[in-house]
Amino acid sequence: MRSQLLLLLGAAVLSAASNITKEDQIAVPTIGDSMPVWSGRSLITIHNDRTETVAIRLFDYLGNESATFGFGLPGAPRIKIWSRAQGPGGAIALSGLAVADDGRRSPFLARLSPNGTILKVTATAPYCPFLIAFNSDGTILSVGTEWGPDGKDDPAEDYHVLRRFDSAGIQIGSLFPFSTLAARSELAGGYLVSGPDRVGWYTGAFGDSPTRYIEIKTSGEIVYYQGIPIALPAKVDGVAISKDGQVFATKFLTSGSTLYTLDRSTGSWSVVDVPRTTGKPFSTLLGIDEDRLVMLERTNPPLITHYRVGQ
């Protein structure tokens, strides 16, 4: 993939820039074993993780279950799902680790039909695709690390952390040599999200280490922005791109959550006022359904709240 390095923009935090209107609030039947994600047009939840057959449950915008299926691989009594995404036409992508009885580990990238039929599984070792997202052209982008010869430590040779796979599971491009990262912490978590003609990568962090938001456009252009300024114990816990290209992120703190949006012209992150109903604003941004933010309210029981975005 051809790339063009553009200016690294600043990260001042300004006042609100978008209008947010609260719409529906739906009780969630289950959020699964790990934080669910909204990707494509579905809420994707993972159940029975680290077992022989992982259960995948999809819910639509109204909270109705749209699909349930099991995912397993021959000879692997334990499957760990790292990331999941829904792409054009409802296709599902999963990345994870298959573990054999003798302890051998095999990272993989799988593409499934909307009803869970396995279409292609690619063994990616020594590369581990920890984050995945569909590009608007149907290809899959991933961010990950490589194992060394011992299957644990980093390899001696440099390698690209972002890779692109076609519908047949064949790697067709790569970017970002490991040696060019601002810090190894950029691979500690983070988010990879789909948007119109682009994929956004919000890098991970250790403690107070700085983060970046990087956009990889289908044209090959790459734009870098500084992330939201944070200090422990705060953390960014959700990122999404709307159908018109607006970028949103939530920052979680014990006193509550804050929603931000990115002004690309200045590189600044603006705090967005979110209408609340009760209690402290503990909300995690799970994704966006075109122009409706999908947020998990950390209540008991948990609720999914939809917020319509306006200019």
Burial category of 106 from C-beta neighbours within 10 Å (exposed 0-12, middle 13-18, buried 19 and up): middle
Q: What is the mean pLDDT of residues 82-100?
A: 95
Q: What distance in Å separates the CA atoms of residue 54 and residue 33, rounded to the nearest whole number?
A: 10
Name the token pair of 296.
Answer: 């998990």
Alpha carbon separation from 63 to 57, 58, 194, 292, 294 (Å, rounded): 11, 9, 22, 14, 11
Residue 21: pLDDT band (50, 70, 90) is confident
Place 124 in a pLDDT band, splitting at 50, 70 and 90: very high
Instruction: Inform me whether the pLDDT recorded for 4 exceeds 60.
Output: no
Select from 207, 225, 229, 226 the least CA-distant residue to 215. Answer: 225
65-79, 152-166, 275-289: least confidently modelled range: 275-289
Contacts for 228 with CB less than 8 Å, ≥ 6 apart: 11, 13, 211, 236, 249, 251, 260, 269
pLDDT score of 26 more than 70: yes
Q: Is the pLDDT of residue 45 over 80?
A: yes
Distance in angstroms (rounded) separating the CA atoms of residues 58 and 168: 24
What is the structure's pLDDT at 274? 82
User: In the predicted model, what is the mean pLDDT of the chain?
Assistant: 87
130-146 average pLDDT score: 95
Q: Quote the pLDDT of residue 277.
A: 53
Residue 98: name the closest of 113, 108, 110 by CA: 108
Say if residue 52's pLDDT is above 90.
yes
| pLDDT for position 223 | 96
| Residue 63 φ then ψ, to 5° | 90, 10
Quick one: pLDDT at residue 211?
A: 92
Q: What share of the chain in percent tops pLDDT 70?
A: 90
Q: What pLDDT is recorded for position 282?
A: 65
Q: What average pLDDT does the segment 291-305 reach?
A: 85
The whole-number average pLDDT for the span 68-91 is 95
* Confidence at residue 14, expressed as pLDDT on a 0 to 100 scale: 46
pLDDT of residue 1: 38
What are the structural domains, with CATH classification, of the chain? Answer: 4-310 (2.120.10.10)
User: DSSP per residue over the chain, as a string?
Assistant: ---EEEEEE---EES--SEEEEEEEEE-S---SS--EEETTEEEEEESTTBSSEEEEEE-TTS-EEEEEEE--TT-SEEEEEEEEE-GGG-EEEEEEEE-TT--EEEEEEEE-TT--EEEEEE-TTEEEEEEEE-TTS-EEEEEEE--TTSSSPPSS--EEEEEE-TTS-EEEEEEEGGGSS-GGGGSS-EEEEETTEEEEE---STT---EEEEEETTSEEEEEE-----TT-EEEEEEE-TT--EEEEEEETTEEEEEEEETTTTEEEEE-----SSS--EEEEEEETTEEEEEE-SSS-EEEEEEEE-
Degrees to nearest 5, angle at CA 81 with 130 and 303: 100
More confident residue, 300 or 172: 172
Do the beta carbons of residue 194 and residue 39 sit within 8 Å? yes
The reported pTM is: 0.91
pLDDT tens sequence across 140-150: 999 999 987 76
